[in-house]
Amino acid sequence: MHTSTADAATSTEETSVERKGSLVVVGTGIKTTGQLTMETIAWIERADAVPYVVGDPIAEAVIQRLNPEGAVSMASYYEEGKSRMFAYNAMIEHILRDVRSGKKTVAAFYGHPGVFAYPSHESIKRLRNEGYSAKMLPGISSEDCLFADLGVDPAVGGCQSYEATDFMLNSINIDSSSQLVLWQIGTLGDWTYKRQMYDIRAMPLLVQKLSQVYPLAHLVTVYEAPMFPGTEPMIAKIPLYWLSDFPITAAMTLYVPSARSRTPDMQMLSMFSMNAPYAGGSTPNDTPSVQGS
């Protein structure tokens, strides 16, 4: 195929313009006014394009103020009653278009942009495959807020974390000695987008599944982190069997505390106490040694 010099020059020029585009994905936190990091603010301010999806008008106003020229909401991609996947794909295409057209793009998502956020990960993956610079900065997720507001630490007995529908529909080994966080209980079994209430009539099935491992009287917490300055978290501690009747919204997360203490692994414990040089109160400065050889 013959390519003229002019064509080649144009295509080289286009390629170099295209490659100037880049992507940084940032999170606005849950309470945007207090949870935007300095680094995220700086990236938003200097961007050519700031496509964003946030859950409240204050977060939207903050982004618009930080970058009035570049800020564009992607919320309009959600369509009532349509699969949320349509909206996610449209968001990915929007972000890719911005970057391919040579713009320094900063895509903002609420919470942590990489936690339960398919379009952010997928955009980065596709752009890197095309040779663009693309990265993500961490943000404050609703689970981070949950640990703070409920005063629980994932280190104590461990913490399992699942998307509620995925948890309900798959065979998952629940360890009731560990804590459990179930995301998206407010959209349980409903893949479509709804402006108001989702169809969560599958909730009794989730309760049934949980009751295989937890007593029905086990106290669980329905939690909603505060989004606005001066507001408090919503923390409802209810018995598991009440869950089906509780008015759960899309911005709520379920926390299930452990129901029993951990079972020591006796074999491992005895091997550990026999062999470990530091078992029995020695300090980390002790010289390591191997016994029994």
Q: Give residues in contact with ligand SAM (CB under 6 A).
A: 30, 110-112, 115-117, 141-142, 183-184, 186-187, 223-225, 227, 250-253
Q: Tell me the closest approach of the beta carbon of residue 141 to ligand SAM, in angstroms.
A: 3
The answer to whether residue 88 is catalytic is yes
Q: For CA atoms 90, 92, 95, 96, give the dihedral sign.
A: negative
Residue type (1 letter), 45: E
Q: Tell me the closest approach of the beta carbon of residue 115 to ligand SAM, in angstroms.
A: 4
Q: Tell me the closest approach of the beta carbon of residue 180 to ligand SAM, in angstroms.
A: 13
The answer to whether residue 214 is catalytic is no
3-state secondary structure of 187: helix
Of 52, 77, 78, 110, catalytic: 110
> Based on CB atoms, which residue is closest to ligand SAM, 21 or 222?
222
Q: How far apart are CA 73 and CA 98, in angstroms?
A: 13
Tabulate helix, strand, coil % of the chain (nearest 5).
40, 20, 40
Of 52, 78, 88, 255, catalytic: 88
> Based on CB atoms, which residue is closest to ligand SAM, 53 or 66?
53
Angle 98-14-95 from CA coordinates, rounded to 5° = 10
> Based on CB atoms, which residue is closest to ligand SAM, 32 or 187?
187
Q: How far apart are CA 72 and CA 64, in angstroms?
A: 8
Q: How far apart are CA 96 and CA 125, in angstroms?
A: 11
Contact 30, 142 (CB under 8 A): yes
The answer to whether residue 193 is catalytic is no
**If 0-12 CB within 10 Å is exposed, 13-18 middle and 19+ buried, where does residue 109 land?**
buried
Of 19, 84, 97, 126, catalytic: 84
Q: How far apart are CA 41 and CA 44, in angstroms?
A: 5
| β-bridge pairing 22-27 and 104-109 | parallel
Q: Tell me the closest approach of the beta carbon of residue 95 to ligand SAM, in angstroms.
A: 16
Which residue has the closest beta carbon to ligand SAM? 111
Q: Tell me the closest approach of the beta carbon of residue 59 to ligand SAM, in angstroms.
A: 11
> Based on CB atoms, which residue is closest to ligand SAM, 165 or 258?
165
**If 0-12 CB within 10 Å is exposed, 13-18 middle and 19+ buried, where does residue 194 land?**
middle
> Based on CB atoms, which residue is closest to ligand SAM, 32 or 258?
32
> Based on CB atoms, which residue is closest to ligand SAM, 2 or 195?
195
Q: Tell me the closest approach of the beta carbon of residue 226 to ligand SAM, in angstroms.
A: 7
Catalytic positions, written as ranges: 84, 88, 110
